[in-house]
Every structure is written in C-alpha cells, then in structure tokens.
Amino acid sequence: MRKKLVVGNWKMNMTRGQASAAIESLLLLVDPNTEVEVAICPTYLTIETVSHLLRRSHFLYGAQNVFWMPSGAFTGSISATMLADAGCSFCIVGHSETRGRFGKLEVPESTLGYFSETDETINLKIKSLLYQSIRPILCVGETLAEREAGNTDSVIYDQVKGALAGIEPAEYYSGVVAYEPVWAIGTGKTCDSAEANRVCGVVRKAVAEILDADAAESVQILYGGSVKSGNAAELFSQSDIDGGLVGGASLDAEEFSKIVRSA
Ligand code: PGA
C-alpha cells in the first residue's frame, strides 16, 4: 500500500527568518501522528534552518535541484553528496521551470536558454541522487500547446523514458514522479481531477514499461499545479494520485496544513 506524500516546493521564496516562522507554524498545525509523508523543499540556503527545526519531527526535507557530479570545478553547483550530507531525503528534478517550460512567463523570452534542463541532464541527476539514497521527485508535464495538439500522453511517456533510462527498477521503488501540467503551474488553473488521475495512470504505465511492474506499483505519483486546500481532497482521492507537489500554497502554513489534512 503506497503512502500519501505531500511535498512543499518553496521555489525561490523564504529568507531564513521567514523559513523558521513557517516551519514553527507547520509543526503546530500538522498532526504529529499523521500517516501522510510530509516534506519541504526550501532553497539550498535555508535547508540548514529547516533541518534544524525539523530534527525531532516526522517531517522530511529536500532540495529543488542538484548537479550530477560529486565535486569539482563546477562553480555555483551543489552535488548529491552535499545534499546527503545536509540530510536531504528528497530532491526535485526536471521541474518545468528548470526545463524552461513556464506556465506563466515572468522573464524575457530571450533568457529562456538559461533554464536548459534536458532529459539527459535529468537522467544524470537522478542517477547521482539514487547513488546517495536520496529519493528523486521527477517532474513531468505537457504545455498547453502540446495538450491542444493531442500530444499529452506521448510527451509524458517520453519524459519518463528519458529520465529513467538505464536505471535498475529496484533503485526506483521509493522514487517519486510528479505530474505537473505546465499550464497549471502558478496560474490558478487546476487540471480536472479525473484527467489528472488519467495522466497519472499514463505515468504509472510508463514506469511499468520502462522499469517493471513492482516499480510501477510502489512509485508515488503526485499531482502538482495550483493545488490548494479547496481542491486537494478531490485530487488526492483519485486512485492513481498518491499526493501532491505544492508550490504557492505551501508558502502559507495554514493552507499547507489543510492540504496535508486532505491527504
Ligand atoms: P503551484 O506550483 O502549486 O504554485 O502551481 C507547483 C509546482 O510548480 O511544483
């Protein structure tokens, strides 16, 4: 039986002071005996603050990105070895914002090359995380144009295949995949729960084909994209949705705790 998992993706938000306040509130608001796995992915600079506050709680934490080499001349990069050293249980990989696929574009289009994640770099990152026993949260999702062209399922399949190439099935038994339609991220538009469940089923089938049936059965598949307290229960009750990857709504402790309760 797969556990429900709710992950807060804080993105580029929260100073150390704000992070402390948010975690202190969350610890008061979330039932310490909850069966739900709860994790927070803050910025690299607040991981230490968050880990210190969470040390005696059931909450887990992780990072939002990683570089695949263990150490060396890679200015500005952070390795899986360093994330493991900081006690991270999870790491988000292949988020649409690092792939340069934005639901709401807030930077000049000419700068999109900066966000240049590819299936190959995602695959290398996942391998480096698994080597350190950090659970990857692989994000996949189609743009509005891809959906309108009827390509949703093939885009999802190709992203899962590219990311998991060459990985031993058993290595991914505690891995996570998040289905995040790009057009629903930070836009307030949520995917209809039946359609979100259908695409999460496509992800599970892809994992079965690319890895094996046991991996497909054990992998936790999350939905992400404008999850809020008002839609979480409906989304999380779907058969193939094992929880959520929550962006904007995870910045508010009260709202996030309600989403955890819905799971
Ligand atoms: P959102 O972001 O909840 O703000 O839409 C989700 C995500 O990008 O992980």
Strand partners of residue 176 = 137, 220
Atom 7 (ligand 1) nearest CA: 247
Residue among 78, 33, 97 nearest 260 (CA): 33
**Cβ atoms 141, 180 nearer than 8 A:** yes
Ligand 1: which of 101, 140, 226 to mutate, most ligand atoms within 8 Å of CB? 226
Tokens 């952070």 belong to which residue?
78
Query: Distance from CA of residue 70 to its chain's centroid?
Result: 22
**Cβ atoms 193, 234 nearer than 8 A:** yes
Residue 231, ligand 1, Cβ within 6 A: no
From CA 125, how far away is CA 147, in angstroms rounded?
27
How far is the centre of ligand 1, averaged over its atoms, from the C-alpha of 93 (Å)?
14
Domains (range + CATH), the chain: 4-262 (3.20.20.70)
Which ranges of the chain does DSSP label H, i.e. alpha helix?
Answer: 16-29, 47-54, 80-85, 119-131, 144-148, 152-164, 193-210, 213-218, 229-236, 253-262
Report the atom number in ligand 1 closest to the C-alpha of 245: 9
Q: What is the pTM of this model?
A: 0.97
**Cβ atoms 253, 29 nearer than 8 A:** yes
Ligand 1: which of 98, 180, 228, 258 to mutate, most ligand atoms within 8 Å of CB? 180
DSSP state of 91: E
**Cβ atoms 190, 199 nearer than 8 A:** no
pLDDT of residue 92: 98
From CA 96, how far away is CA 22, in angstroms rounded?
25
pLDDT tens track of the chain, all 263 residues?
899 999 999 999 999 999 999 999 999 999 988 999 999 999 999 999 999 999 989 999 999 999 999 999 999 999 999 999 999 999 999 999 999 999 889 999 999 999 989 999 999 999 999 999 999 999 999 999 999 999 999 999 999 999 999 999 999 999 999 999 999 998 888 899 999 999 999 999 999 999 999 999 999 999 999 999 999 999 999 999 999 999 999 999 999 999 999 99
Active site residue 180: yes
Residues in the chain, overall count: 263
